[in-house]
Amino acid sequence: MHKIVPLIFAVGISAAAASSLRVYSDRAYYVYEPQNAFVGFTERVEAKCKERVVPLERSVACEANGSELCALYETLLSVEREKSETKKSEEMLELFASSFDPQQMDASGWIDAAKRLARERTKLELQANALEIESENLKRAFRKRAPASTPSVLQTPCRGSLKLSFPQGYIRFDTEYVAHLKEGKIAVEQKIAITNRSGVDINAKEANFYRRRSIQNIAPVRFRPWIVSEARHYTAKKAVRTLASPAMKANVVEQESVILSDAPPVAMKAVYEDAREYRVENLHLPSTGEAIKIPILKWEAPVVCQEELFAYRNRTVFEVCRFKPAYQIEKHRWRVMQGEELLNANARGAYEEGGYALYTKIDPDIAVRRERIVPKERESGIFGGTERKKDGFVLTIVNKSDKKKTIRITERIPTSDTEKISVKLRFVKGTKKIRYKEGKEGKLTMEITLLPNETQKIRVGFEISYDKALEVVY
């Protein structure tokens, strides 16, 4: 079978020095000085030579020495040639077998000829099947790396700078966060992951990445006075006008994390320019369809990790680590490490309560049950024109492990959006004394400590008061 040997893409120092790359969420632009007419294995790409559009056309020859795509292309052509030759050999063998006359030789000669025909036919069939599998594998590898399977070349030579404009998705980038949990601290490493499947090998002295669109359609906003006038008593349809917002939201493309590729031969350096804006020096980005990952930032912050339960929402106990980021967090998917142990390859985080909360893992040893309280007294009583309804719920929390657990619980009671309805907390009672705090909008936070294999119950009661003529739902 054909073996593809990885090659290092060779680029002259002068060509790299004059090259640049700019990647936005909707397009990418690559400027370089071409050494020949070969561009790459690409399509739907606009090429400009000194602002003059140069059409691209298909070719059968690949003129980039050292390109991995060219090596893959040549291997694929060789396999296709062998497939064609094998098919012709099978046809010739069938033609020979059909013209064979057994009467012209004795029985033993006829048997030997039949055996040789069978062996050759089997050999050709096996070879054809193996070549078909290899061909499909090579085509699949090509589709992953490039949008086109044949070379694209310039119709006319370009002497000077050539600017290529790539559609969305050909060159992508994303940020990746890795959190290392230590005693009382979190060490954060931010990386930029860059993927190229444009079919063009990129070698840029400077590359800039912007998490925003390169084309933003913004309409000017002109002042319109707010007029008060005498009312006119007639019926007219009111025209609805829509003004474009001056603030345009960047179109951010989500993508799955990919495996870190081997380190490229050129030393690359990534610089954090601003939130959602980065610069990479000496970027070597061959069209492989796999991401290269380059560190951008490293910083530390004090952290507090605690088990938390949001019982009103679900019955899962999470470990949540809270800290104040030194830089803006742009993506809320994390890889969390504790020493050499991987805690979570796809943890989630969010800005909460003036800081950041990173949900690192689930505790499977805590079982939670939440039930409504059935009051012993009458559900409602009438005092004058006011009805008072008593309600509540009970939490049953079981620690099935042999370790002590401290859990912060976030719960809620109803909150009213009108003065006609009022709600008050009646009690919070537990198997042991409960530390709790009542916040705004019915938020209730509690903290309990469970000994190994201990079960605790927490009862929460509240009262809703409203006019008896009202119908209340919650």
Q: What is the DSSP string of 360-401?
A: EEE-TTEEEEEEE---SS-SEEEETTEEEEEEEEEEEEEE-S
**CATH of residue 390:** 2.60.40
Q: What's the rounded Cα separation, in Å, for the pair 296 and 278?
A: 8
Residue listed under structure tokens 């959190």: 179
Q: Return contacts of 117-125, CB within 8 angstroms, 24+ apart.
A: 117/93, 120/93, 121/90, 121/93, 124/86, 124/89, 124/90, 124/93, 125/90
Q: What is the pLDDT of residue 110?
A: 62
Give the domain-ending residue among 136, 166, 196. Answer: 166
Give the domain-ending residue among 166, 199, 216. Answer: 166
Q: What is the pLDDT of residue 298?
A: 94
Domain that holds residue 50: 13-166
SS (H, E, C) 403-443: CCEEEEEEEECCCCCCCCEEEEEEEEEECCCCEEEECHHHE
What's the total number of domains in the chain? 2
210 lies in some domain: no
Q: What is the pLDDT of residue 206?
A: 96
Q: Are 356 and 322 in contact (CB under 8 A)?
A: yes
Q: What is the pLDDT of residue 252?
A: 29
Taking the whole predicted model, whether its pTM rises above 0.85 is answered as: no
Q: What is the pLDDT of residue 114?
A: 73
Tell me the pairing of strands 366-372 and 405-412.
unpaired
Task: Provide block-wise average pLDDT over 10 residues at a time, the chain (474 residues).
Answer: 40 57 96 93 94 92 81 90 86 74 62 77 87 90 93 92 96 95 95 96 95 88 80 50 34 32 62 92 94 94 96 94 95 94 95 94 96 66 74 95 95 91 93 91 94 96 90 87
Q: What is the pLDDT of residue 215?
A: 86
Please give the share of the chain, as a percent, with pLDDT higher than 70. 83
Q: What is the pLDDT of residue 63?
A: 75
Q: What's the rounded Cα separation, in Å, for the pair 214 and 251?
A: 10
Q: Are 296 and 190 in contact (CB under 8 A)?
A: yes
3 state DSSP class of 70: helix
Q: What is the pLDDT of residue 221?
A: 85
Helix axes 107-145, 68-98, angle to 10 degrees: 160
| Amino acid at the residue 346 | N
431 lies in some domain: yes
410 lies in some domain: yes
Q: What is the pLDDT of residue 49?
A: 94
Q: What's the rounded Cα separation, in Å, for the pair 237 and 323?
A: 54
